[in-house]
Copies of this chain bind each other. A is one copy, B any other.
Amino acid sequence: MNVTLGHHTRHYRTVWFEAKTNRVHLIEQRLLPHRFEIVATRDFRETARAIRDMIVRGAPAIAATAAYGLAQGVLAFRGSNLDRFTAHAESVYQTIKSARPTAVDPVNAMNQVRAVMAGGETVGEQQALALAAAEQFANESVEHCRAIGRHGAALIRRGLNVLTHCNAGWLACVDLGTATAPIYTAQAQGRKFHVFCDETRPRCQGSTLTAWELAQQGVPHHVIADNAAGHLMQRGEIDLVIVGSDRVLGRTGEVANKIGTYTKAVLAHRHGIPFYVAIPLSTIDWTLKRGFDIPIEEREEAEVLGAWGVVRGSRFKVQGSKLGQRVFVQVGNPTSGARNPGFDVTPPELITGIITPAGILKPKELWPRRRELGW
């Protein structure tokens, strides 16, 4: 999507590869929204570290980064011994895999690259195929978001107020995003509407990342505290909710997503407001039988008791921090503990539709149509 620095507007993906220098380029997402910087990794170890340290985040974005990282690693191999090359490729694969051991998307992405690569007969051929496969993976990922955008844009009629939660935006993908794809597509079709971004405590991905994205694209929007959506719905100020998801159960239609999603779905249901979930097909888990069995990770207590931000104004200066560098402030009572579940599960009866690259489906339609959806 577009990023404007000074007077200069440029189109960026979250991750791209420069073959000439064998570098993977990434937006340094930890500095947003306060600073925009590009990181170029010099080898696959640096790429793995960028994944581990969350310079890049969001399943589709990590997946593409892993695919490029594998290509980067095998392209650095010098020589023509295929056995040695294969051993090297395996070591690259394992290094990148171990950067985020619980994530499934980077592994799937690297498996695709590896399968294509295996069709080459020489080291050179395999190297060329790895690069082509990584590029194809990233391009297909963007194509999925484009298809989500095409299907979802029709929901955003002129003048509507759309609520979104957390960041399922282009920063989490290679481009366009999932929940944001209908928004950017409707905007490109010339429609005027307005977006409310939930702040999304405790990590504030809504007020930091989604709000930054929308501001860069010129989409009219306001950030709200997570507490405010219910009141706005009650007053008729929200017409449509679109969120992303970390995992949709193909068997039940249940949706796991960032903590607070369930609350918004309950509120939308009470007010008769349509509630949509936008996902690529790779987000569907066809094996798990019950949403209750989705592991809900408890994150650290400090996130709830504090916040990351930059100190502004002339009254205060933070020593030891660069301009625009974020610091952590303790907000809540330091002798209190906190509970910090990272995700929640929304049942299918609260979900109007699931926007996929294959069209908009009812949650209960997933399982009967599992064959055409790739299961």
Contacts and interface: CB of A to CB of B under 8 A. Distances in A.
Interface stretch (A18-26, A307-315, A361-369): A307-315
A337 interface: yes
A328 to B, nearest CB: 7
A153 B137 CA distance: 60
- Determine which residue in A225, A226, A227, A319 has the highest number of CB atoms from chain B within 10 A of its CB, and name it: A227
A317 B234 CA distance: 44
A339 B198 CA distance: 10
A330 B226 contact: no
A91 to B, nearest CB: 35
A108 B230 CA distance: 33
Contact of A339 (B222, B226, B230, B321): B222
A329 B307 contact: yes
A30 to B, nearest CB: 14
B34 A334 contact: yes
A328 B327 CA distance: 11
Given A263-B227, A270-B266, A319-B317, A234 B344 contact: yes
A340 interface: yes
Given A199-B304, A307-B307, A344-B234, A223 B337 contact: yes
A228 interface: yes
Nearest to A220: B337
Interface string A331-369: 111111111110111000000000000000000000000
A207 B332 contact: yes
Interface stretch (A78-86, A122-130, A209-217): A209-217
B341 A228 contact: yes
Contacts of A227: 200-202, 226, 258-260, 263
A17 interface: no
How many copies altogether? 2
Contacts of A263: 227, 229-231, 263, 267
B260 A230 contact: yes
13 contacts: A199-B202, A201-B225, A207-B331, A211-B336, A224-B338, A224-B340, A225-B340, A226-B227, A228-B259, A228-B341, A229-B263, A232-B339, A309-B329
A199 B201 contact: yes
A196 interface: yes
A318 B320 contact: no
Given A224-B340, A309-B330, 11 more contacts: A211-B333, A222-B338, A223-B333, A224-B338, A225-B259, A225-B340, A230-B344, A231-B344, A311-B330, A312-B328, A312-B329
Contacts of A305: 207, 223
Contact of A33 (B262, B310, B329, B332): B332
A208 interface: yes
Contact of A259 (B197, B208, B231): B231
A58 interface: no
Interface string A252-265: 00000011101100
A207 B329 contact: no
- Determine which residue in A214, A319, A336 has the highest number of CB atoms from chain B within 10 A of its CB, and name it: A336
A306 interface: yes
Given A267-B266, A318-B317, A333-B211, A228 B260 contact: yes
Contacts of A230: 260, 262-263, 266, 344
B222 A337 contact: yes
B211 A332 contact: yes
